[in-house]
Amino acid sequence: MPEPTPPSSTARLRLSIVLPTYNERGNIEPLLAQLLPLQQHVDLEILVVDDDSADGTAELVRRLAHDEPAIRLIRRVGRAGLASAIKEGLLDASGDVALVMDSDGQHEPGAVLRALQALQQGDLDLVIGSRFHPEAEIHGLSGRRETGSTWANAAARRSLPRSFGHLSDYMSGFFALRLEAALPLIRAVDVNGFKFLYELLAVSRGRLRAADIPLSFQPRSYGASKLDLAVFWDFLISILHSLSLRLLPRRAISFGLVGASGVLVQLAMTQLLLGLTGRPLAGNQELALVGALTAASSNYLINNALTFRFARLRGLALLQGLLKFLLVSSLPLAANVGVAQVLVRLSYADSLSAQLAGILVVFVWNYAASSRFVWNTP
Ligand code: GDD
Ligand code: MN
């Protein structure tokens, strides 16, 4: 006799929970223990995406998965970052609905069922657990982080489609989505840094039906946050990238910002030297040279740490890279003046636009040549 199949109205929801981990050995086991009882309500699959943590997180999860078929470990070698881990987990998920949350105890497991309810009752594609919802509580953010996040959130709101204006937390690490609706978008998400959700909203161009629910954000149980300056920088670049209608390449934006910081360094250094030596700038070639070299070296180091950190140079290669960078950026020093002068002489341009054209040429050259020759990227 064929097995009776349950009528579809009572068919249980298939839920995939994605848990990104990086050094969460102390946190993951209690979290899994709190999530597994959800099997009373849904068909559950838990995907732990670990970036080869050094503290034995993956080994621990493998042991737990051995005795609990609902748990799956995805272990990646070479740390590719939070957004990339989330993308990988979501692409591998087999449920109807997927839910992403932090693995460090900052997101309450109790919010999972609330998110599912909101998703189903509101007939939505995406439900975000928000730290900034009027009914949310924040116990786990320092005053500084909270201010920073509030600011970042306001910038995010402005750079995203208007139809997401009602949402309150664009960087949350807690969200549930209907996979059928979201999969094509997930594929397209760019995975630099932390902000998976922001990117998902950006690539959806307003087409996701989204709402948020309040979260009670807890202090981290064990270990430390992995959000660092590079993550913050990356977010800044994302905002500018969205504002440029995603036309300017992300890396070029970063390179441009670093270049702008170099201008400030050069001005400051020249001022300092003028003060120290007490000599006038006019005719003082060495002084101008030291200012320019300091700025170029500072640009190089910052680009190495942020713009090209995926191809970061260290040790001897760092020194060789500096020499190449100085060479690359000294070539257009002459050309810059040249381009401007030629344009003015042919009266194609007044001197301001000539200078801007000069800056553009230098920028494109520096960016292209140092990508290629200093950091060996196309
Ligand atoms: N696989 C993987 N790889 N997981 C990572 C990585 C990584 O490189 N970096 C962080 N994670 C995991 C952590 O193990 C944790 O489970 C979760 O991602 C969040 O990381 P935290 O380091 O705890 O972030 P946070 O608490 O400072 O940041 C919070 O706010 C951000 C927005 O301001 C989190 O809620 C983030 O999800 C959120 O984007
Ligand atoms: Mn955290």
Distance 186 CA to ligand 2 centre (A): 22
Last residue of a domain, one of 223, 258, 281: 223
Is the same domain home to 69 and 217?
A: yes
Residue 3 lies in a domain: no
Residue 270 confidence class, pLDDT cut points 50, 70, 90:
confident
Last residue of a domain, one of 206, 223, 240: 223
Is the same domain home to 285 and 138?
A: no
- pLDDT reported for residue 5: 47
Helix/strand/coil for 44: strand
Quick one: average pLDDT of 349-360?
Answer: 74
Residue 1 lies in a domain: no
Domain of residue 340 covers 250-373
Is the same domain home to 21 and 136?
A: yes
Is the same domain home to 19 and 123?
A: yes
Is the same domain home to 64 and 202?
A: yes
Residue 8 confidence class, pLDDT cut points 50, 70, 90:
very low
Q: Which of 163, 12, 30, 33 is nearest to 97 (CA)?
A: 12
Helix/strand/coil for 51: coil
Is the same domain home to 190 and 302?
A: no
Distance 141 CA to ligand 1 centre (A): 13
Does residue 281 have a pLDDT over 80? no
Is the same domain home to 183 and 124?
A: yes
Residue 229 lies in a domain: no
Is the same domain home to 70 and 126?
A: yes
Overall number of domains in the chain = 2
Quick one: average pLDDT of 302-330?
Answer: 94
Is the same domain home to 44 and 85?
A: yes
Does residue 338 have a pLDDT over 60? no
Arithmetic mean of pLDDT over the chain = 90
- pLDDT reported for residue 202: 92
Does residue 315 have a pLDDT over 70? yes
Instruction: Determine which helix (DSSP H) or strand (DSSP E) holds 60, and give its type and residue range.
Output: helix 57-67
DSSP secondary structure string for all residues of 324-377: HHHHHHHHHHHHHHHHHHHHHHTTSS-HHHHHHHHHHHHHHHHHHHIIIIIS--
Distance 222 CA to ligand 1 centre (A): 13
- Asked if 173 and 101 touch (Cβ cutoff 8 Å), the reply is yes
Residue 161 lies in a domain: yes
Is the same domain home to 113 and 261?
A: no
- pLDDT reported for residue 6: 45
Is the same domain home to 165 and 293?
A: no
Pocket mutation for ligand 1, best pick of 106, 218, 229, 310 (most atoms within 8 Å of C-beta): 106
Angle between helices 196-204 and 82-92 (to 10 degrees): 60
Quick one: average pLDDT of 309-337?
Answer: 87
Atom 9 (ligand 1) nearest CA: 82
Range from 275-279, 343-347, 367-371 that averages highest in pLDDT = 367-371
Is the same domain home to 33 and 171?
A: yes
Atom of ligand 1 nearest to the CA of 195: 39
Residue 169 confidence class, pLDDT cut points 50, 70, 90:
very high
Residue 42 lies in a domain: yes
Residue 243 lies in a domain: no
Residue 2 lies in a domain: no
Last residue of a domain, one of 223, 242, 264: 223
CATH number at residue 89: 3.90.550.10
pTM for this prediction = 0.85
Residue 242 lies in a domain: no
